[in-house]
Amino acid sequence: MKNLKRIPFLITAGVLCFSAQISHAQKRETPTRPKLAVVIVIDQFRQEYLSRYSKFFGKDGFNRLMKNGAQFTSAHYSHATTYTGPGHAQILSGSFGHTNGIIGNRWWNPASKQVETMFYDASAKIPGVELSPKDDDTSPRNFIGNNLSDELLLANNFKSKAIGIALKDRAAVMLAGKLGKAYWFHEQAGGMVTSSYYANALPAWVQNFNAKKIPESYFGKAWTKSLPQSEYSLSHVDDFPQETDFEGLGRAFPHVLSDKSGKPSPNFYTAFTATPFATDYTLQLARTAIESEQLGEDSYPDILGVSITATDIAGHAFGPDSHEVQDMIARLDGQLAGFFKYLDARFASGEVTIVLTADHGATPLPEYMTTLGIEAGRIKKKQLGDAIEKALTDRFGPPNMIGKLVSNDPDLAKWVLLLEDPGVYINWKAVESIQSNQEAEPAFLRSKINPEEVRRIAGEAALSVKGILTYYTRDQIQNGKMPNNRWAPMFEKSFYAARSGDVLLQTKPYYFWGSYGERDSGSTHGSPYEYDTHVPMIFMGAGIRPGTYDQNVDITDIAPTLAGVLDIAAPVGNEGRKLHEILAR
């Protein structure tokens, strides 16, 4: 009986399938390709914020995205270095650091023999800014491959436009790609800038935007709480001791924007970037870009990438469980609603596709965790450096020993060249110096030092520092001998042989090192743990089938999916999956 009953079902299913194919084919004749793709990246935003703060959201911001869009509730970064550069590099390229070379914030450049930010380019200058720090000379040259902005421009010989906007250089650059245009905020200029890589001068519309001096209009103004006081019980106390007095803003509300000089200064402009006013400013620039560059006007689709930076600056300063981050996210909902309303007024239904995601999550203030009885902490580079120096000196002797003499060469002073999360860079010049010296004493120094042993000893030594969970050497990664655990593949994805350290260190949860490990306040991100990897991924608008999707997806899936929406080639190095289940065709 069961078999008989199944026959009509199969026939019905076949008919349904057949009719589905017809409608599928019919829809393909008029592809729902947008005129404009808007990619919004919230810098430092966990997926869980969407539920934690949902009671403060209206219907037109995050809720509109979640209700009318395709929301992935389990979207993760699967690389280890959850930082701004690697995150933004991945979003529109679909590639990991092991392909695109953007492995962290900073690296040791053996060619220039100095530590450099990942996007530093000695040949790039900021037009119009004289006193810029060297690190601000930024371009996408160190990014290997291309991204979706590049592919879109290549697809029609530059009839499309691609623009990246952020307060941070690396965010704007990685949204614009190599062929688009990037604009970001510079605290010396007090306005938006670009790199000589993209143009020798700002276009008139950016100059006009700067001439409005919008940041200055906030001088003397205060960032106050937008929610009733009782609502902030969702966060820890406002004045938690390890919150930062960021550029004179103070640790608790109200945060007054001013400067002791009585007028706007680079410090004031930096403080401005930590307030919700900076998000209004960013979105105002996005509107100006749409109008001035006539984005979405013709039949060639354009990309506008907007990275919301203020959430990250405030998150670092006050921690993710602060009144400030709660207030900023509650306000961000309204700010996004306003931006969506603007897009509604300017474009017809079906002309715009919106993607919203984040470049990483956030690690709680370690001191807040310890007050709750949860193990957490800041690891100082000196602790790591001392442990590794001692272990290598115990085994091989001092690095500066030349024969029976001690060299004064400062380049031979230490075994460790650089500690840059997650990498330990070994001073191979010291190793070579010992190796090449036939008179070195004691006798074991005359034998060749095995680099693999040096790295293993360095890694083992780091384990003696509280908060370090494990280590991975480049030998393990390059020889395919990584341990079979949840984390090893994440570190492999963040390893690029010519740029990464000799040893990569993995902290325990709630521990971190690097620049925020060196400080005694503020918090960061950059780990392979849930609080740093789990971020929103929502697509809405033209070409998108709405729904809530709970399957695990990877941030590398965004680029090939949006390539599908735009009907163009996916970026060259992409490793993601086209999320075909959300494509309305």
| Exposure b/e, 120-150, CB count within 10 A at least 16 = b | bbeebbbebeeebeeebbbbbbbbbbbbbbb
Nearer to Zn ion, 171 or 303 (CB): 171
Q: Residue count at the site for Zn ion (CB under 5 A)?
A: 4
150 is a contact residue toward Zn ion (CB under 5 A): no
| Interacting positions 477-516 with Zn ion (CB under 5 A) | none
Nearer to Zn ion, 100 or 400 (CB): 100
In the complex, least distance from residue 334 CB atom to Zn ion, rounded to whole angstroms: 22
Applying CB under 5 A, among 359, 389, 502, 532 the residue interacting with Zn ion is 359
In the complex, least distance from residue 40 CB atom to Zn ion, rounded to whole angstroms: 14
Count Cα atoms within 13 angstroms, Cβ side, for 423.
Answer: 25
Nearer to Zn ion, 45 or 347 (CB): 45
- CA distances to 126, 378, 385, 523 from 468, in Å: 39, 11, 13, 18
Please, are residues 454 and 392 in contact by the beta-carbon 8 Å criterion?
yes
Only one of the segments 41-49, 125-133, 177-185, 491-499 lies at the binding site for Zn ion (rule: CB under 5 A); that segment is 41-49
Please, are residues 323 and 314 in contact by the beta-carbon 8 Å criterion?
no
In the complex, least distance from residue 309 CB atom to Zn ion, rounded to whole angstroms: 8
Nearer to Zn ion, 312 or 420 (CB): 312
In the complex, least distance from residue 170 CB atom to Zn ion, rounded to whole angstroms: 9
Structure tokens of 531? 């609080």
Sign of CA dihedral 374, 380, 382, 387: positive
Three-state DSSP class for residue 129: coil
Only one of the segments 34-42, 120-128, 245-253, 351-359 lies at the binding site for Zn ion (rule: CB under 5 A); that segment is 351-359
43 is a contact residue toward Zn ion (CB under 5 A): yes
In the complex, least distance from residue 359 CB atom to Zn ion, rounded to whole angstroms: 4
In the complex, least distance from residue 168 CB atom to Zn ion, rounded to whole angstroms: 7
Structure tokens of 8? 């009509």
Nearer to Zn ion, 85 or 423 (CB): 85
In the complex, least distance from residue 87 CB atom to Zn ion, rounded to whole angstroms: 6
Residues 291 and 515: their CA atoms lie apart, in Å, by: 39
Nearer to Zn ion, 168 or 331 (CB): 168
In the complex, least distance from residue 56 CB atom to Zn ion, rounded to whole angstroms: 23
Closest CA to 126 of 169, 179, 83: 169
In the complex, least distance from residue 360 CB atom to Zn ion, rounded to whole angstroms: 5
Please, are residues 471 and 426 in contact by the beta-carbon 8 Å criterion?
no
Nearer to Zn ion, 43 or 502 (CB): 43
Closest CA to 191 of 207, 174, 175: 207
Only one of the segments 42-50, 57-65, 158-166, 500-508 lies at the binding site for Zn ion (rule: CB under 5 A); that segment is 42-50
Structure tokens of 34? 């947008």
Nearer to Zn ion, 364 or 543 (CB): 364
Nearer to Zn ion, 170 or 455 (CB): 170
Q: What is the dihedral of CA 406, 411, 412, 417, to 10 degrees?
A: 150
In the complex, least distance from residue 312 CB atom to Zn ion, rounded to whole angstroms: 5
Only one of the segments 54-62, 183-191, 359-367, 420-428 lies at the binding site for Zn ion (rule: CB under 5 A); that segment is 359-367
In the complex, least distance from residue 139 CB atom to Zn ion, rounded to whole angstroms: 19
Residues 96 and 575: their CA atoms lie apart, in Å, by: 8
Q: Which residues contact 371 (CB under 8 A, 6 or more apart)?
A: none
What would the DSSP string read from start to end of 339-407? HHHHHHHHS-TTSEEEEEEES---PPPHHHHHHTT---EEPPHHHHHHHHHHHHHHHH--TTEETTEE-
Residues 512 and 419: their CA atoms lie apart, in Å, by: 13
Nearer to Zn ion, 43 or 389 (CB): 43
Nearer to Zn ion, 87 or 573 (CB): 87
- The values of phi and psi at residue 40, to 5°, are -105, 120
In the complex, least distance from residue 320 CB atom to Zn ion, rounded to whole angstroms: 12
| Exposure b/e, 422-441, CB count within 10 A at least 16 = b | bbbbbbbebbebbbeeeebe
Q: What SS3 string covers 273-325?
A: CCCCHHHHHHHHHHHHHHHHCCCCCCCCCEEEEEEECHHHHHHHHHCCCCHHH
Residues 415 and 397: their CA atoms lie apart, in Å, by: 10
Kindly write out the interface string for residues 284-313 of this chain, putting x where it contacts Zn ion by CB under 5 A and - elsewhere. Answer: ----------------------------x-
Please, are residues 336 and 235 in contact by the beta-carbon 8 Å criterion?
no
In the complex, least distance from residue 39 CB atom to Zn ion, rounded to whole angstroms: 15
Please, are residues 219 and 268 in contact by the beta-carbon 8 Å criterion?
yes
| Interacting positions 63-92 with Zn ion (CB under 5 A) | 84
In the complex, least distance from residue 529 CB atom to Zn ion, rounded to whole angstroms: 16
Which residue's C-beta sits nearest to Zn ion?
84
Three-state DSSP class for residue 569: coil
367 is a contact residue toward Zn ion (CB under 5 A): no
In the complex, least distance from residue 89 CB atom to Zn ion, rounded to whole angstroms: 11
Kindly write out the interface string for residues 309-328 of this chain, putting x where it contacts Zn ion by CB under 5 A and - elsewhere. Answer: ---x----------------
- Which H/E stretch holds residue 417? strand 416-420
Amino acid at 494: S
Nearer to Zn ion, 107 or 232 (CB): 107
Nearer to Zn ion, 139 or 524 (CB): 524
Nearer to Zn ion, 39 or 465 (CB): 39
Cross-strand partners of 184: 193
Only one of the segments 38-46, 55-63, 180-188, 432-440 lies at the binding site for Zn ion (rule: CB under 5 A); that segment is 38-46
Nearer to Zn ion, 84 or 160 (CB): 84
Q: Would you tell me which residues interact with Zn ion (CB under 5 A)? A: 43, 84, 312, 359
